[in-house]
A and B are shown apart, each in its own frame.
Chain A
């Protein structure tokens, strides 16, 4: 194993990433074997349907985790954005393009709210994001009078937004996600914004004494996260036209587990966009694989819970080993 780890190619690509890809392939083979059929294009499309919006949530929360914080409101904010924008579209009669923009705007506003609470008011991110989660669920419920909302389905007027996910079999959702992932990777690894965010997660006091406005850059991480949750809402309704109220929190665990699995440290200061994306692919494959094996969907929650616990344990062990 040590010989494998010291291989120059393995060092360049990163041992963790290679292991994650191996896990992904192993899971695919395992599910194909135990479900009695090879997971085909329909299953892969199902995986991509989840990845399209979960990817945005995962990359967003990765920025926050990189600062050493956490955002538990991403899933509910995504739902809230989809509900508010959907209601304005269906009941308010606003143009679709405007509603899609409003959805992103709702995410942005929650990002600003979280950023102010954590960076400027010094509230623990754990608590403030729980508060935002409830606020988002409440607003979503109020906006739709607890009834939820149905976005236009394929074939009806205003259905062009569904092409954001798939056009004649071309996975446009995945292409959009990959584009954003590359942009976010450049921001994280090649720009001052990313460097400040990572450095704050590494040693906040040293960054502050260096003369950097740590509050501004920390708040920006939450704003990026919120905005990506708003974009995730657009992708979500592109896949699932119906949005119910008081939901979305189940997606928090998935996104956080994907980040941690992908090599983002819960202590802050270390983050990986590519690792996070592979992590979310694994979680989406698990969901589809469990369905293919005809297990109850409840098993997905149990398995995701176990994965979160294992990922947290592995992260703590690995940070102890790194020292």
Chain B
């Protein structure tokens, strides 16, 4: 649905912001503008600029990946608050601005979100992730992949179910879940199992 040329794929698969910026400048010079370059620049700036501290390296989209897990946790008790937080996150990620640039804008948004989610799943490979018992126990590889699956589900379908915003979160859900399936070779099967378990609980 959101297919890209090989060159743009390279740009969206790169997780280092500095390297991405360099790649973008090259692509901008060599590739014809599909009408979304202005949005790409806007979205990159929104993601990596801290208006309060210029020059300070940030990734506001990556933070939303962690923050929405917390939003999922509070969504049962503070539903309206959770809906507000999802909207705030989407505002930060220029979610509604994409439509101004037509199909190319939506595609650029999808790939930027997917890039942020891919960066999130990359952080799940670090030793600090999925420790238990006050940080004393490090879980094995399967435990880590299971928790990644849980995270992916909670910030997408889980949150959408709890806030009743499945349609609103469509692009976000697809971007995150596609990034997750790329990060875990058995992701599809794991996600299916997790979803079955979650829907059993919900019934």
Residues of A at under 8 Å CB distance from B? 2, 5-6, 11-14, 65, 68-70, 124-126, 189-190, 195, 198-199, 202-207, 209-212, 266-270, 312, 316, 319, 322-323
Contact = CB atoms under 8 A, between A and B. Distances in A.
B168 interface: no
Contacts of A204: 128-129
29 contacts: A2-B201, A13-B77, A14-B76, A68-B134, A68-B135, A69-B134, A124-B136, A125-B134, A189-B74, A190-B81, A195-B70, A199-B63, A199-B66, A199-B70, A203-B129, A204-B128, A206-B62, A206-B63, A206-B123, A209-B62, A210-B60, A211-B56, A211-B60, A266-B133, A267-B132, A268-B135, A316-B133, A323-B147, A323-B149
A225 to B, nearest CB: 13
Contacts of A68: 131, 134-135
By DSSP majority rule, is chain A's interface helix, strand, loop, or mixed? helix
A211 B57 CA distance: 6
A286 to B, nearest CB: 23
Contacts of A12: 76-77
A322 B146 CA distance: 9
A68 B129 CA distance: 10
Contacts of B124: 203
Interface in B33-62: 50, 56-60, 62
B6 interface: no
Interface string B116-156: 00011001101011111111100000010011011100000
Contacts of B134: 65, 68-70, 125-126, 266
B202 interface: yes
Contact of A195 (B56, B65, B67, B201): B67
B52 to A, nearest CB: 11
A188 to B, nearest CB: 10
B69 interface: yes
